[in-house]
Structure 1
Amino acid sequence: MVTERVEDDHIEDLEEDQFIDPNDVLGEVEMDGDLPMDEDEEDGAAGEHPPDEEIVWEDNSMQHFPNHNGSVFAISTHPAAPIAASGGEDDLGYIWDITTGDELVKLTGHTDSVTSTAFSADGELVATGGMDGKVRVWRRVGKDSYKSWEFLTELTGPDEVMWLKWHPKGTVLLAGSNDTTVWLWQLPSGNTMQVFAGHMGPVACGDFTPDGKRIITADAEGTLIFWDPRSPTPVFKLSPSNGRFALDGITSLAVNPASTLAVVGGANGGVRVISLSKGEIVGALAGHQEGESVEAVQFVELAAPAPLSGAAPSAGGVVVTGATDGKACVWDLSTMRLRATLEHGDAVTSLHRLPPPKAHLIVSASADKILRTWDARTGTLVREHKGHSAPVLGAALGMGGDVVVSAGDEGVCLVFPTE
C-alpha cells in the first residue's frame, strides 16, 4: 500500500471548528401490431394515423442537452451557477448551461466512458472520472462568469473510477476504484494524500461524512470501512462475516447530517443502520423485495429545527431507500419503522433531497423513464417529470433545488422544475 502524508496539515485545517457529536440516538405507448396500409396511401400518406390514434410523447421538461453520443452515466450541478457537468459512454464530459441548453465546455481526454462528474464545494473546480482510470480536473477561468474553464491536471492511480466525491468544505477529492483501493488527492496541486487499502472487492460507494472529519466506503463484497483521512488504518470495519451484515455486497450508502449514523443498502435488498461512534449495527430495515438491489439512500428532514434552539443536528431522522423493485421506502429511524412507500414502474436509480426549507421533498429517478417529486412526510406525489425515452440513469438538483437535471440512457439530459 502506498501512502503519502504530505497533506496532513490541509486536512487539519479543514477540520478547524468542526466536531462529531459523540452521542448517537438509536432508536412510457405500445402498438399491438403494424397498421394495414391502404392502397391510396402509396402517394406519401402511408403510416399516418387518424388524429385520435396519434402517438404523443409527453415532455414537460424546461430544457434539453442532446450533445452526448451514447448513454449519459453521470450528471452533477454547480453549487451556485446554473450549469451542469455530464459524462457518458462517448468518453466525453460537458459543462453546459441549464437555462439555455448551450454547451459551454467539452471535457476531453478520457479514453473510455466517463462515469463520474463532480463540482467542488466552492464551484471553482470540476472533476471527471472514467473507466480508463483517469480523474481529470478543470478550473474556472476568471471571476466574472462560470462559462470559461481550463484543464488543470490529470490524476492517475485507480484502475477504474467507480465514483468521485469532493470534501464538503475544501478542495480535497476522494475516489473509489474497482481495484479495491480508495484514493485521496489535494487540489490544485494534485498531490496524493492517501491511498486506502482494505477492501476485498470493487469499492461501490463512499463519501465524506457531512462534518468533513471522516470517510466511509463500502465494496461489492459487502465490507464497510470507516476511515480517518489522516490514517491508512481503519477506524472500524464491518464485514459479511458478521451474519447480521450479510448483504450480498453493498450498493449504496448515506450518512445523516449529524455524522453519527450511516445507512447502507445491499444487493440482496437489505438495509442496515450503523452507529459511527460505536462501529456497530443498530438497526435492520426490511421493506424491499428480497434479491432486489438497493441503489440509492438519502436522508430527509421532515421538520425544520426550532430557531435559536441550540440543538445539535438530529442523530436519528428519516431516510429514504430506493431499489430495483421500483420502491422508494421512507423510514423513521427513531422507531426503525416504515412511514411510506413511493412507487415507480421500474428500478429506482437515484434519490435527491431538496435543500431547506423544502427538505421534506425528495426527487426520485427511475428506469421507468420518469422522475417524480414526492412529499416524504405523507408519501404524496407532487409532480411527475416526463420527457425521457429510455431509463433515467442519474440526476442532480440545481439552482438551489428549483430544478432537477437528469441523465438518460438515450443520450439526452433534461431539466425539470422540481415543483
Structure 2
Amino acid sequence: MASKPLGPNDADTDEENVQDEYIDPEDVLEIDEEDGADYPMDDEDELEDGEGAAGPSGENDILEDTSIRSFTNHASSVFAVAVHPSAQIAASGGEDDLGYIWDYSTGEVLVKLTGHTDSVSNVGFSYDGEMIATGGMDGKVRVWKRVGQQDFKRWTFLTELQGPDEVMWLRWHPKGNVLLAGSNDTTVWLWNLPSGNTMQVFASHASSVACGEFTPDGKRILTADTDGTLILWDPRSPTPLWKLTSDDGRFDLDGITSLAVNPASTVAVVGGASGGIRIVNLAKGDIVGSLAVHDEGESVEAIAFVGFAGTAEVVVTGSTDGKACVWDLNTLKIRNELKHGDSVTCLVPLPAPKSHMVISGSADRVLRTWDTRTGALVKEHQGHRGPVLGAAVGHEGGFVLSAGDDGACLVFAAE
C-alpha cells in the first residue's frame, strides 16, 4: 500500500492559459467527477550478491558493469524513466507503486512520489520542467510542481487527475501545460494544468489505447489501439478528423503496438503486433507506404525518427525479433540493421547535433548507442541483470538513463 501524498496541495491552482495557440482553456469540458516491453522478474530469478543473471540463452553469465551511477531505491521492476529538460534530474516509476525524482549526477533522492495503489508505469516532465506527472495501473494520474525558481530539489504535490481505469501512456504537450493520457478502457484524456480541469475526452476507440502522441507542432493528437485503429484528432474536438482501421486490408497490423510522428508533423510511422509497418500521410489519413523486414509475427515495440543532413527522412523501428532497422522513407529501403540478442524494447534518439545517433534498449539487458548513418556501434552500455524496459537521454545527449526489470536505473555516458 502506498503512503500518503507528499506535502499539501498548496500550489496555485488558478486557471492558467495554455502556452500554445492551438489549445484554448475556454475549450474545457465540464464533466462529473502486455505486451513485449513488460518482463516481470519472478522470485526465483532474484540474484544473490556476486551471482550472474541468466542470459538470453538461459545460462548464468556476468556482464561488465559500464554504468557511471546507479539508482536502486525501487523495490522491484522499474517501468519508466524520464529526464528534466534542463537540469540533471530524473524521474522513475516502478512496480512498487512508487515514483522518485532523483539527481542523476549524484544518485541522491530528491522526492518520493507516493499516492499510487498499483504500479507506476509512466512518468514525464512538462515541456518547461516545472511539473512532473506519474501514471499508474490504478488509473491515477498524479502531478507535482517545482517549488521556487532556482531550486530543482524541492517539489510539492499539486493534484490528482482521474478518468482512466489504467494508464497506458502519458504525453505532455510540446509547448504548453497540457497533459494527454491513453487508457485501457478505450478512452483518451486531455487535462489543463495546473488547474487539473478536463479539456477533452476522446472516446472513438473500441479497445485499449496502446500508444499516442502529440504531433511535434502541437496542433494534432494521434492515437492507436490494440484492435488496429489509428485516429487523428483536433485537441478541441471529440470527433476524429480521420480514422484508419483494420477493415482496410492494407492497414491490418494485427493490433497497433507503436507509432511515431516526423518532426514536420506530416507523416506517421505505425508498427503492429504481427511485424508490419505502415507509413501514413497525416493530412489525409492516406497509407503511403509499407515497410517489411522484421520477422513475421514479431511485434514492433518502438519507433523513432532520427536526424540526417540533407533531405533524407529516416526512421528506426525496433522489434521483438531483436532487430532495430534504419529506414529511408524517401526510398522505402532499409539502410542498416542494428542487432540485439533479444527483443528491442525502446529507442531514443540523441538531440542535435548528435541526432543521427539512437539508443536502443533490449531484453538482452544491454543498451547500445548507434550511428544510424553507417550502422556502426558507437558504445555498448552494460550493467543490468534483467531486461531493459525503458530509456531516456539527458544533459544535451551526454548521458543515457535506463529503467530495468532488475529494479535498477543506471546512468551511462552516451558515447
| Matched residue, 1:60 | 66
2:38 is matched with none
Counterpart check, 1:359 vs 2:355: yes
Q: How does 1:25-40 map to 2 (within 5 A)?
A: none
> Contact 1:139/1:149 (CA < 8 Å) preserved in 2?
yes
Tell me, yes or no, if structure 1 residue 331 matches structure 2 residue 327: yes
**Which residues of 2 match residues 126-141 of structure 1 at below 5 A?**
126-141=132-147
Separation in structure 2 between the aligned mates of residue 8 and residue 414 of structure 1, nearest angstrom? 36
- TM-score of the aligned structures, taking structure 2 as reference length: 0.86
Q: Which runs of 4+ in 1 moved over 6 A?
A: none
Q: List per-residue Cα deviations over 1:354-411 (Å, max 9, x = no partner).
A: 1111110000000000000000001000000000010000001111111010000010
Superposed counterparts of 1:241-252, under 5 Å: 241-252=247-258
Distance 1:411 1:8, change over 3 A: closer
Partner of 1:401: 397
SS at structure 2 position matched to 1:401: coil
Mark the CA change 1:57 to 1:338 in structure 2 (over 3 Å): closer, same or farther: closer
Cα separation, 2, equivalents of 1:417 and 1:106: 26
Which residue number in structure 2 is paired with residue 22 of structure 1? Answer: none
Query: Is the alpha carbon distance of 1:336 and 1:68 closer, same or farther for their aligned partners in structure 2, counting shifts above 3 Å?
Result: same
Partner secondary structure for residue 272 of structure 1: strand
Task: Give distance in 2, aligned partners of 1:12 and 1:107.
Answer: 28
For 1:268-417, list aligned pairs within 5 A: 268-303=274-309, 317-417=313-413
Q: Return the alpha-carbon distance in structure 1 between the equivalents of residues 191 and 234 of structure 2.
A: 14
Structure 1 unaligned regions, length at least 5: 1-6, 17-46, 48-53, 306-313
The DSSP-based 3-state class of the residue aligned with 1:416 is strand
1:56 offset after TM fit, Å?
A: 5.4
1:28-177 superposed matches below 5 A: 57-177=63-183
Alpha-carbon distance between aligned partners in 2 of 1:157 and 1:206, rounded to the nearest angstrom: 17
Answer whether contact 1:160 1:178 (CA < 8 A) is retained: yes
Partners of 1:176 and 1:206 within 8 A in 2:
yes
Please state how far the C-alpha of 1:13 moved relative to its aligned partner.
2.8
Query: SS of the counterpart of 2:185?
Result: coil
- Tell me if structure 2 keeps the 8 A contact 1:215–1:228: yes
CA distance, structure 2, for counterparts of residue 156 and residue 96 of structure 1: 26
Does the residue aligned with 1:244 lie in a helix, a strand or coil? helix
Say if 2:23 and 2:235, in contact at 8 Å, map to a contact too. Answer: no
Letter aligned with residue 227 of structure 1: W
- Tell me the amino acid that sits aligned with residue 274 of structure 2: N
1:10 Cα shift? Answer: 4.0
**Which blocks of at least 5 consecutive residues in structure 2 are unaligned?**
1-14, 25-50, 52-59
Structure 1 residues 320, 57: CA separation in 2 closer, same or farther (over 3 Å shift)?
closer
Q: Indicate conservation of the 8 Å contact 2:348/2:359, yes or no.
A: yes
Code of the aligned partner of 2:183: S
Q: CA deviation at 1:8?
A: 12
Give the superposition deviation at 1:336.
0.6
For the pair 1:235 / 2:241, whether they are aligned, the reply is yes
TM-score normalized with structure 1 length: 0.85
1-structure distance, mates of 2:162, 2:400: 31
> Aligned to 1:13, which of 6, 21, 30?
21
Structure 1 residues 291 and 380, CA gap change in structure 2 (3 angstroms): same
What is the SS of the residue equivalent to 1:68?
coil
Deviation at 1:57, TM superposition (A): 4.0
Cα distance change on mapping 1:109 and 1:15 into 2, 3 Å: closer
Change (3 A) 1:15 1:202: closer
Contact 1:11/1:230 (CA < 8 Å) preserved in 2? no
SS in 1 for 2:242: strand
SS in 2 for 1:259: coil
Percent identity between matched residues is 68
Matches within 5 A, 1:257-276: 257-276=263-282
- Contact between 1:226 and 1:236, CA under 8 Å: does it hold in 2? yes
Residue correspondences, number: 367
Give the conservation status (yes or no) of the 8 Å contact 2:16–2:194: no
After TM superposition, give the deviation of residue 144 of structure 1 in Å: 1.4
SS in structure 1 at match of 2:207? coil
